[in-house]
Chains A and B, each alone.
Chain A
Amino acid sequence: MTTTVHHIRSEVWIARILQGGIILSAALMLAGLFLLAAQSGVIVLPAENPSLGNLFHSLFTTPDSSKTASTFMYAGIVVLIFTPFLRVAATLVVFLYERDWKYVAVAAFVLFMLIGEVVVAFR
């Protein structure tokens, strides 16, 4: 009974992470598009996509007026890409809690490959 309740809770938890990620990313993308429409409607994109560090630094530290439409949209994109990463991490935690070591190893391996991809991509 306890195991069943725990299973349901872990599934609800994973579902909430996925829902949260999709809502936040859609909100950021929408905010960016509205900001773009409210401004001139012309967007000047940086020559290269921003690094992850610069993106979040400018999103959270610069004053509201200087946040550009593209910053919001890039942030929405990054949140959306990281949502499946977070889902894998959450699944890893669930398997750890259940002491299911075989699947802890499987989930850790998948997470390791995903993190490896980020490192290789931005190298």
Chain B
Amino acid sequence: MTFESFLLLLAGGLLAGTMGSLLGLGGGLILVPFLTLVMGLPMHQAIATSIMAVIATSTAGAAMNVQRRIVNVKLGMVLETTTVAGAIAGGLTATLLSGTTLARIFGGLMILVAAFMAWRSRFHSAVPLRGKGVIPGVIIDETTGETIEYSVQRLPAAMVVSLFAGNISGLLGVGGGIFKVPTMHLVCGMPLKAATATSNFMIGVTAAASAFIYFAHGHLNPVVASSSCLGVLAGSFLGVWLSTRIQTRALTWIFVFILLVIAIQLFSR
């Protein structure tokens, strides 16, 4: 490991963390292709490193969101029952698959996420479902000071999506928030801010659920993981700072294009 490699890892982590934070994704979608296509690391090692970065950014974000009281802790715990099960299954499955197979599945995920992002750019204006639900929650809108009460509906649907998101997380080292947030917002009727914070709260536990599987199989290189984690962590704070200063709508379409290009690269490996 040379000093240049260390700097490159730090820079890659910084880029992944910044983009992930700006676009409301985890850093994994950028970090995994960066580690495999640019740094030439094996796919399993890239996934293991990404899992560590996901834990770091989720933990830092959750610490702030819990204090701001926008996380629905009870809903998070209920959904963790399925997301953790999915992540453990995903982690165990990943150890049985070849790097090439994982790269192709990752490429498929990137196409799916690109389609989701194109669709998501419209759903902010959608009206979430209202009605009687099972887990109540309250958040205070920090801009208006208004108290918003809600109740979580269609919990079984959210549990199924969480199982899938957990499985993808364990298998490919991404957070899975891209699937959970729209479900919690549009299907369960949660305010978008509460859905995003609750998803972020869960992601750390989901990633931790498969991390030791990768660790025990020797896929975690301490230098790569440490450099990338610190870079992603710094990048996530930079992304939060930048998000109030730049227009992210145009960035979304650029990112959709980048995701498709990377997906083709992964398929052709």
Residues of A close to B77: CB separation below 8 A: 88, 91, 103, 106-107, 110
Contact B205 A84 (CB under 8 A): yes
Complex-state Cα separation, A107 to B77, whole angstroms: 6
Instruction: Please tell me the number of chain B residues within 8 Å of chain A, measured between CB atoms.
Output: 50
Interface residue ranges of B51-75 to A (CB < 8 Å): 52, 55-56, 58-60, 62-64, 66-67, 69, 73-74
Question: Is B101's beta carbon under 8 Å from chain A?
Answer: no
Contacting residue for A84 out of B74, B91, B204, B223, CB 8 A: B204
Residue contact A37 to B3, C-beta cutoff 8 Å = yes
Is B215 a contact of A106 with CB atoms below 8 Å?
no
Contact across chains for A48 and B218 when beta carbons are under 8 A apart: yes
Q: How far is the CA of A78 from the CA of B83 in the complex (A)?
A: 21
Given the known interface contacts A22-B59, A84-B55, A103-B74, the answer about A29 and B229 at a Cβ–Cβ threshold of 8 Å is yes
Contact A114 B223 (CB under 8 A): no
A22 to B62, CA, bound (A): 11
Contact between chains at A33 and B205 (CB < 8 Å): no
Q: Is B250 an interface residue (CB 8 A)?
A: no
Are A11 and B66 interface neighbours, CB within 8 A? yes
The smallest C-beta distance from A121 to any residue of chain B, in angstroms, reads: 4
- A61 contacts partner chain B, Cβ-Cβ < 8 Å: no
Task: Report B-chain residues with C-beta under 8 Å of the C-beta of A88.
Answer: 77, 80, 205
Total CB contacts across the A-B interface at under 8 A: 155
Q: Among B55, B66, B88, B229, which residue has its beta carbon within 8 angstroms of that of A14?
A: B66
Tell whether, in the assembled complex, residue A77 and residue B213 are in contact, meaning their CB atoms are under 8 Å apart: no
B52 engages A77 (CB within 8 Å): yes
- Inter-chain contact B2/A41, CB cutoff 8 Å: yes
- Known contacts A29-B229, A76-B226: does B63 contact A18 (CB below 8 Å)? yes
For the complex formed, measure the closest distance between the CB of A42 and the CB atoms of chain B, giving whole angstroms: 7
Contacting A42 at CB < 8 Å: which of B1, B66, B220? B1
B16 within 8 Å of A (CB atoms):
no
Given A12-B67, A107-B77, A109-B81, are A84 and B226 also a contact pair (CB < 8 Å)?
A: no
Please indicate which of the listed interface residues B6, B74, B81, B84 has the most CB atoms of chain A within 10 Å of its own CB. Answer: B84
Partner-B contacts on A (CB < 8 A): 8, 11-12, 14-16, 18-19, 21-22, 25-26, 29-30, 32-33, 36-37, 41-43, 45, 47-49, 70, 73-74, 76-78, 80-85, 87-88, 91, 103, 106-107, 109-110, 113-114, 116-118, 120-122
State the 8 A-B residue pairs at the shortest beta-carbon distance, nearest first: A73-B222, A18-B63, A29-B226, A121-B216, A84-B208, A121-B212, A84-B204, A84-B205
> 9 A-B contacts, Cβ less than 8 Å apart?
A15-B63, A15-B64, A36-B1, A76-B222, A109-B81, A114-B205, A117-B213, A120-B92, A121-B215
